[in-house]
Structure 1
Amino acid sequence: MAETTTRVLRLLSLLQDRTHSGRELAEKLGVTDRTLRNDIRRLRDLGYPVHAERGAIGGYRLGRGSTMPPLLLDDDEAVAVAVAVGLAEDGATGIADITEHVGRALAKLEQILPKRLQRKVTALRSATAVGPATTGSREPDAPIPAEVLTTLAGAIRDRATVRLDIGTAADEFSDPTEVEPYRLINWQRRWYLVAYVLDSHTWRAIPVARVRRAAAGTRRFAARALPDDDLVAFVMRHVASTGWRVHARVTVLAPAERVIARINPAVGVVEAVDSDTCVLYTGADALETIAIYLSMLMMDFRVDGPPELVAHLRMLARRYTDSVREAPD
């Protein structure tokens, strides 16, 4: 009976992949056509809608049923689903009334995960924080290999250094770079690693999409004083000042506290000059977006750079002025 159960589960796994001919399934399972038909019947009795199609391109396929039968996932699929569900439980979806359902789904999945996979999932979840979904971006998604994420999460858990091979776009890093990893931040469909870079002795928010390879080292490190109590805020400030396509420096004629209270932390970094003036370092995907941010400040300001932003604001000022001029008699 155990052999039959194992074979039927193997059959289910094959059917979840794609359509297979009867001969192909029988050969992969090492059974006769009659045994295969019996196993198909067993799956149907369990509620799996296995459809048989005739013809040259026919075969068996798993269809949609009226209920939700159990699924078979390989190791990488199980880890990916558990991490994604965990991020949803942490509020990364923006969908109302979903937390309770997500929590139950995660509990069911974690209950049956093998220990070797549970260790990966636990490391990823404990090493990850989620940024707020409060700002948009026109930048394309930056997918990263799951192996890189699990390596970084394991190193964070073990407090082990990591050697990173980083793409050529990151000229500020030597290659390879050895870092002490502290936290993974997921924000706006991108991943960032908060790490202490040993070569430059600086704290950085490293875009994980730039990492071509991550290799965990054997050297352990003692935890340093963090650059910020809120590492999500640290990453958002870092992205605001270095991570956008366009950057700007703006002197705002208002106290720093007032500007900070007005803007989203992702929009920029504010530094006080005196009690009535501060500097805003901001960025966005386009000059037009920065102009919108500045108009929403509702405060007097002076653009220090770049010149392209100054020219764009002058053009907008002319248009606004022309739009309110009185028509001639």
Structure 2
Amino acid sequence: MIANRTLELLSLLQAQKEWTGDGLAERLGVSPRTVRRDINRLRELGYPVTATKGPSGYYRLSRGARLPPLVVDDEQAIAIALSLQTAPASVTGMGDATRRALNSIRELLPPHLSRRLATFSVEQMENAWELAPPQVDPGLVAQLSAAAQERELVRFTYRSIEVDEADGCEVLAEPHRLVVWSGRWYMVAYDQRGCSWHAYRLDRIEQPAPTGWRFAQRDVPEGDITRFVQSQPDRGDTSDTWPCWGTVLMECPVALVAKWAPGAASCEAIDERITRIRMGAWSWSALIGFLVTFDCRFTVESPPELAEAARRVMGRIDVDIPRADASASGGKPTP
């Protein structure tokens, strides 16, 4: 019981920078006096826990030059193993680094947890429906993440799929948050020159440079960062991977189409109820199969092969639906 509580206390100190004695006592369900004894036990084990006295005193786990062996419970060990083995493959050079990190953590664990960690071996498989996510540089991720944390303006060149690949536009943005969706990295930021919010694809950001200028916090549109990113029509993917590509006009609002369309699709709002979507798949029939999931009317703009596939698919659907009064005649439709 004492060992479990000490482990939980260590987890709390690792998860939050500072804790009051009363706060720790409330979380652990013990008295402040018991917390002080448990703190002393951690110190005896070699963990550098500092404390300040007085009404506003707090406990803090300091960073020492040498820390004792890593202490985690069984659930945390499983979480570490699964998280490292299923880490996004879209960051350049992270495959070997995650394997080395997992091996390093195993060396710090007690023998029984190290053995259990070794039993979790996960192999990731590609989904044939989804385009492989583009690679992003870990240095860029770190730079933009730090800028968002410090609220520092960033200047960069952005290559949109709406302009020629060789061109790009200069952006002065307030980075708010990094988001990963379907393996693709986005930076949600406010464009100061355009006075508008955008979800910028990290693989299309070039020559990022800090400015040293700070900005005030803003509220994300709709108050929901997930909804904002999913509603962006421009996903940022190019159309050079799938063998079959088509363009369709759908009688469905662009926000709904963009939310559920695959990562490589691009959407354009024609008006409030009509959306033009361009997307690809491994076959023309697969494209039709996706489009009918929206349960709305659509018109094929191009190419002719997609229109012909739609006619073939409809020709293969043969539904014989009994009339409503069939049950009254012994299960047979009445003439």
Taking structure 1 as the reference length, what is the TM-score of the superposition? Answer: 0.46
More helix by share: 1
Taking structure 2 as the reference length, what is the TM-score of the superposition? Answer: 0.45
